[in-house]
Amino acid sequence: MCQSIPPILQPTSQAATKPVTRSQHGIFKPNPKYCGLHTHPSKSPLPRNPVSALRDPNWKMAMHDEYDALIKNETWDLVPRPPNVNVIRSMWIFRHKEKSDGSFERHKARLVGDGAGQQVGIDCGETFSPVVKPATIRTVLSIALSNSWHIHQLDVKNAFLHGELKETVYMYQPLGFRDPKYPDHVCRLRKSLYGLKQAPRAWYKRFADYASSIGFSQSTCDNSLFIYKKDNHIAYLLLYVDDIILTTSSSTLRKSIISLLSSEFAMKDLGHLSYFLGIGVTRHKHGLFLSQKKYAEDILSRAGMSSCKSCPTPVDTKPKLSTTDSVPYEDPSLYRSLAGALQYLTFTRPDISYAVQQICLFMHNPMDTHMHALRRILRYIQGTKHYGLHLYPSSTTSLLSYTDADWGGCPDTRRSTSGYCVFLGDNLLSWSSKRQSTLSRSSAEAEYRGVANVVAESCWLRNLLLELHCPIHKATMVYCDNVSAIYLSGNPVQHQRTKHIEMDIHFVREKVARGQVRVLHVPSKHQIADIFTKGLPLILFQDFRDSLSVRPPPASTAGEY
């Protein structure tokens, strides 16, 4: 039987007692003349190895804190090393923990197991673990805004240590903390540990099982979304490894859930959502502002372009990049690193999705011209790094989508590029810029494949909203600027140039026939999805960027970014 959410305990009145003074416990006010000598904690440089870390008082304290937490958690048993068993290394990882504004917070030492030394089938099995989808996060935030719900943030301390191991894993004792009585013993792990291949899966299963036991149901559209519904009380919980977003229909329900989670896991209540996965979140009177300004600045610094001149658009309107362009770039690792970082920046910057998609096509063998295109994106970010994605409260409960395709745009393969964006009211929930996997023989075919992609995404969002108890009763409007593709979507047209199209693409007709989707025409000058398929002139690019709600921060929060 599921445990129900308990009511909040009210503070009980206590009889008046004799006051206890500070002096009775040896606590005295500080001398005013020494107050000016107070300083913030010093920041020690990152150590090169555990030996040098143990010589630094700050890092030594951080290592002791980590080790003591593992011992208190009963993470392992110290046992003699069995013969003929695989024993993995233990390693120390050091980093500086920073606040949302980039300032130093504390020294962080993490003891991890060397998962690379594990052998599948012997000391590890299944390793897959889901994480919440970006579109799910934006959908939940949009619903919370529309209902004026508080959005809370939680962090699970040492999350992976809560997972239960099914396999027997042996690990060498951590350097600097070997037991003097049993220096040759090894650690037989009882709990999961960071670095193990199965650690994320073990933690996720432990959390999902407990969430189910207190009344949450797991979404089938996104396994990292947990939904609580009882009478008129609703709660949504999003899990991304050890970071949690919680929004509820009442403060009483929120406090009860936090109390239950804290009784089972070591939780840190971070208050209102403000910084999640490197994304700054600011709530103002008009809605939410999502920004990755600090992350953008880090990318520019990594590329050595912190002081570069800005550029008005991320990509020009000239012919596309090619594999035969120029000569190989001298540092492919830097190219791949920057391209991967830019991919994550698209979480709040859909305006660079097409440009980033183009440079990611050449990660295997980047050329000088490809690096030049990447630098142009960075120059554009330099002038717009304070931009972000806006979400607004809205009473509109209909899905609206735009889709476009650039037929045969790739000069090497002549494959087309599809792009789409999906809105819930005025809020952008999902978007994509992707090269099609097959060759299209006509522009109508390329556009029709693009329609199929956005219809599939819209169907998934409709199902997600249904699970969130916000069903969509109206048909999803899909806007396309190709008349032939619109005819193919609503009519069983079969002739020489369309009979080869795969049958799974024709599910669009089924959705149209059921009234779940309507494919309509939009003039090219109003086709927002153009920004995901090609380089655009400045005026048109700025117009479409504004339509995506990618703008500077509101005046009330501009100083924070």
- In the prediction, which pLDDT does 286 show? 87
Summarize pLDDT for 177-215 with one digit per residue, the tens.
999 999 999 999 998 899 998 999 999 999 999 999 999
Q: Kindly state which CATH superfamily the domain 394-522 is placed in.
A: Ribonuclease H-like superfamily/Ribonuclease H (3.30.420.10)
- In the prediction, which pLDDT does 561 show? 44
Domain ranges of the chain: 50-128+164-191, 134-158+200-287, 288-393+540-553, 394-522
Q: With helix as H, strand as E and coil as C, how does 407-446 read?
A: CCCCCCCCCCEEEEEEEECCEEEEEEEEECCCCCCCHHHH
- For residue 208, report the phi and psi dihedrals to the nearest 5 degrees: -60, -40
- In the prediction, which pLDDT does 499 show? 55
For 134-158+200-287, the fitting CATH number among 3.30.310, 3.30.70, 3.30.450, 1.25.10 is 3.30.310
Rounded to a whole number of angstroms, the distance between the first and last alpha carbons of the chain is 48
Q: How far apart are CA 171 and CA 177, in angstroms?
A: 13
Token pair of 72 as six digits: 């208190």
- In the prediction, which pLDDT does 21 show? 54
* Contact (Cβ atoms closer than 8 angstroms) between residue 295 and residue 330: no
* Contact (Cβ atoms closer than 8 angstroms) between residue 136 and residue 224: yes
Token pair of 391 as six digits: 């979400």
Q: How far apart are CA 459 and CA 507, in angstroms?
A: 11
Summarize pLDDT for 246-268 with one digit per residue, the tens.
999 999 999 999 999 999 998 89
Q: With helix as H, strand as E and coil as C, how does 453-511 read?
A: HHHHHHHHHHHHHHHCCCCCCCCEEEEECCHHHHHHHHCCCCCCCCCCCCHHHHHHHHH
At CA 375, angle to CA 370 and CA 376, rounded to 5? 95
- In the prediction, which pLDDT does 494 show? 58
Of 296, 292, 304, 310, give the one whose Cα is nearest residue 371: 304
- In the prediction, which pLDDT does 502 show? 62
- In the prediction, which pLDDT does 492 show? 66
Which strands form 417-424's sheet, in the order they lie side by side? 427-435, 417-424, 399-406, 476-480, 517-521
Of 373, 401, 392, 415, give the one whose Cα is nearest residue 519: 401
Whether this model's pTM surpasses 0.75: yes
What are the mean pLDDT values of the chain's consecutive 10-residue runs (561 residues total)?
Answer: 45 43 51 49 85 92 91 91 92 86 84 88 79 95 94 91 88 92 93 90 94 96 96 95 94 95 91 91 92 95 95 89 86 96 96 96 93 96 96 88 89 89 95 89 87 94 96 94 85 58 74 91 94 95 97 72 44
Nearby residues of 169 by Cβ (< 8 Å), 6 or more positions away? 88, 113, 118, 123, 124, 188, 189, 196
